């Protein structure tokens, strides 16, 4: 079902919240897919996740943190040795530099601890708002919107915003939802983007929010064909069909 071209702010908010509720029902288990045991591990893992998959990062970080468990250890690591550990993630030389300088900055400016404020996190080398919001939301329980490529794509496809700049997307979407929902909203949209609403061939016929999506029809609409495009698992008992 198409959405009116001119939509009042109230109508947009209501539509966005209905969409989110339906997606949350599809992915009630949505979560950060990077493995971590503390804020430092999540911060480093998020930095390493650029241009690679969370699965790849999760294979590398156990080795990384077993060898260099603290910020001071990371800062003092042998570059060649760390490069070999990080090689599978791609761009490993640049990522090694990022981890070394990040560890040093944490030691020098924060006593080796990861700060729990956005203003402090974004001052760390290699840390932008996206990474900071991942850490705040998942390691500190501070609500934040994580605008990665999936989130930005879905926010535009769903007609929540026309903005392309991640900071503007974050602000526009943040106005549509209570702050307490921001972190889970991020997880749910990212899950949907990875599993159903793909960049090239969205599985429209297997999507639970077509009635509120102005982009319905951009991908495969046949339910059976769309179901074959789904990646990973749906929630137990979820139906892959247009609702």
pLDDT tens-digit series, residues 76-104: 999 999 999 999 999 999 999 999 999 99
What domain count does the chain have? 2
| Cα–Cα dist 113/212, whole Å | 43
Instruction: Give the residue numbers spanning the domain of 52.
Output: 39-139
pLDDT tens for residues 180-191? Answer: 999 999 999 999
Task: Give the model confidence (pLDDT) of 172-226 as tens digits.
Answer: 999 999 999 999 999 999 999 999 999 999 999 999 999 999 999 999 999 999 9
Distance CA 106, CA 116 (A): 12
Q: Residues 130, 162, 168, 231: which is the catalytic one?
A: 130
Predicted TM-score (pTM) of the model is 0.89
The verdict on 133 and 152 lying in the same domain is no
Report the alpha-carbon distance of residue 193 to residue 231 in Å, rounded.
10
- What is the CATH number for 203? 1.10.1670.10
4 among known catalytic residues:
no
For the question of residue 148 being annotated catalytic, the response is yes
Q: Which residue has the tokens 């020098």?
A: 108
Find the catalytic residue in 35, 95, 148, 222: 148
Residue 237 — left, alpha, or beta (φ > 0 → left; ψ -120 to 50 → alpha)? Answer: left
What is the per-residue pLDDT for 240? 39
* Structure confidence by residue, pLDDT tens digits, 114-140: 999 999 999 999 999 999 999 999 999
């Amino acid at each position: 079902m198409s959405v009116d071209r001119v939509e009042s702010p109230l109508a947009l908010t209501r539509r966005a919240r209905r969409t989110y509720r339906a997606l949350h029902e599809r992915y009630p288990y949505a979560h950060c897919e990077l493995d971590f045991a503390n804020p430092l591990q999540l911060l480093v893992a998020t930095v390493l996740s650029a241009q690679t998959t969370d699965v790849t990062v999760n294979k590398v970080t156990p080795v990384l943190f077993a060898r260099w468990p603290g910020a001071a250890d990371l800062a003092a690591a042998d570059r060649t040795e760390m490069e070999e550990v990080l090689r599978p993630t791609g761009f490993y030389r640049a990522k090694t530099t990022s981890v070394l300088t990040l560890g040093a900055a944490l030691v020098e400016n924060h006593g080796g601890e990861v700060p729990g404020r956005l203003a402090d996190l974004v001052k760390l080398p290699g840390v932008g708002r996206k990474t900071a919001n991942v850490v705040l939301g998942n390691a500190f329980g501070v609500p934040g919107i994580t605008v990665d490529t999936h989130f930005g794509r879905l926010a535009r496809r769903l007609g929540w915003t026309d903005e392309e700049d991640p900071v503007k997307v974050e602000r526009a979407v943040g106005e549509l939802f209570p702050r307490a929902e921001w972190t889970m909203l991020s997880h749910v949209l990212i899950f949907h983007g990875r599993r159903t609403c793909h960049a090239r061939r969205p599985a429209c016929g297997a999507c639970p929010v077509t009635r509120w999506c102005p982009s319905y029809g951009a991908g495969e609409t046949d339910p059976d064909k769309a179901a074959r495009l789904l990646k990973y698992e749906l929630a137990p008992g979820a139906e892959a069909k247009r609702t």
